[in-house]
Structure 1
Amino acid sequence: MARVINALIIGNVIWDVVDTFVPTVNMLVNYGGKEIITGCDLKPSILNDPPAIHISGGRCNDLYTLVMIDPDSPSPCDFNMREFLHWVVINIPGGSDGVSRGYEVVPYLAPNPQVGVHRFVLVLFQQHSLLRGICEMNTRARFCTRDFSRDHNLGPPVAAAFFFFLYQQSGLYLLSIVGTVVCVSVCSLAFGSLGFNVYEICCLLSL
C-alpha cells in the first residue's frame, strides 16, 4: 500500500486531486484484458471501452463510488478545465468487475488528449450507504473530486490508480503507473538524475 501512496505523491495526484489517504482495499484496473501495471504499454484503441475494475480486501456487502478524471485538461501547461470528468459510477459492489453492476451516473468518455502528457486518475471511495438522487452532471469540465466526496459524504479515498497518456506528433502512447513509478522515456533518466519527479518530466517532454 505504501508504494501506491508514493506513486500518487510523485505523480502529484495527491495534492492536485486528492489529499493524503490510507488505502484500505485493492483496486485492479484492466483495459482490454490487460492489467494496468508498472511498465505496461497499451494501445490507445483499447481505451475506447471502460476498464474492468476488480475490488478486493473489503467486506462483501460494501459499496463503492468510482470517479475517473483528467487533471491536466486541456494541457499540462494550461489546465484551466481541471478536473475534466471522464466517468462516475456509484453503488458498486466489491468483487470482480463490480463496476458493471454499479450505477453509471456519468457515462465513460475515453481518454483523447490533444496536447502533452496527461494523467488519468481513478479514485475509489467507500460509501456509507446506498447513494440515491445523484443528478447527471451538466458539464464535465472543472469537476472537483474533493467537493464531490464532501457533497456525498464519501470521506477520503480507499484506493486510487493513475496512468500517463502521452500525445506526440507521431501518435498516441500510453504509459501506465500503479503503485510505483515508470520512466516515460530514455530522456527521463537524464531528467530524473537532475531531481525532477515523474510528472515534472512529463511536462518537460510535452513542451
Structure 2
Amino acid sequence: MLKIVRVLLVEDHEELARTVAAGLRREGMAVDVVLDGHAALVNAAVNDYDVIVLDRDLPGLHGDEVCRSLVQSGHPARVLMLTAAGAIDDRVTGLGIGADDYLPKPFAYAELVARIRALARRSQRALRPVLVHDDLRLDPAARTATRAGRRLLLSPKEFAVLELLLAAEGAAVSAEELLEHAWDEFADPFTQTVKVTISRLRRKLGDPPLIETVPQAGYRI
C-alpha cells in the first residue's frame, strides 16, 4: 500500500526547521523535527521514515556520523544531506558515507520538495499516476481530487487519508495505519482524530457514500 511520505528533518537552526517542516506538511507529508544528531538516531530507531533530511553541520554528533550510523544499522530511509558547503569535495564526501542525495544551502524550496519526493519513490511500490475509483479521481503529484468532475477542497490530512484509502485498492485500512502514515509522531493514538477526518471527508465526497467502515478492521473505498 502507498505510504504518505514520512520525513525526519534534522536541522539545528530551529526557525529554519519550523519553516521547512510547515511547508512540507502543506505538501501532504508527515514531518518530525529534531535539532541534533543524537535525537535523530533515537527517532530513526523507533519510527518508520521514508526520507531523512539531514543537516551535515550539526552540533554534538556531526551529520556525517549520523549518516554512517544509519547506513551501518541498515536503516531503510533515504538520506538527503544538507550543508552550507557546496564544494565538489564536500558533496563527494557526503555521498561517499552513504547519503542518497545532497543539497547545498541556500536551496530553493521547490527543489527540496522535488528531491524528497524522488527519494521516497525509490522505496515505494509504483502506483498509477492518477488514482481512480468510479467517478472519484485523485492526482497525488498535482495535489488535486475530483468527484464527477467537481473539485474537492480537501485539507492536507483529508487528502492524505483519501490517497491511502484509494491506494489500498479496496482493502481495509486501519485507523492505526492511517494515523501512522498520515500524521507525525505527536499524533495521539487515543484521540478521535482519524474518525473526525473520515467524517469530514465523507461530507466533502458527497453521495452516494464511498467510504465504508469495516467493523474491527478500519475503513475502505
| TM category, shorter | under 0.3
Which structure has more RCO (C-alpha within 8 Å, separation ≥ 6)? 1
Name the TM-score, length of structure 1 as normaliser. 0.27
Structure (1 or 2) with the greater helix fraction: 2
Name the TM-score, length of structure 2 as normaliser. 0.26
Structure (1 or 2) with the greater strand fraction: 1
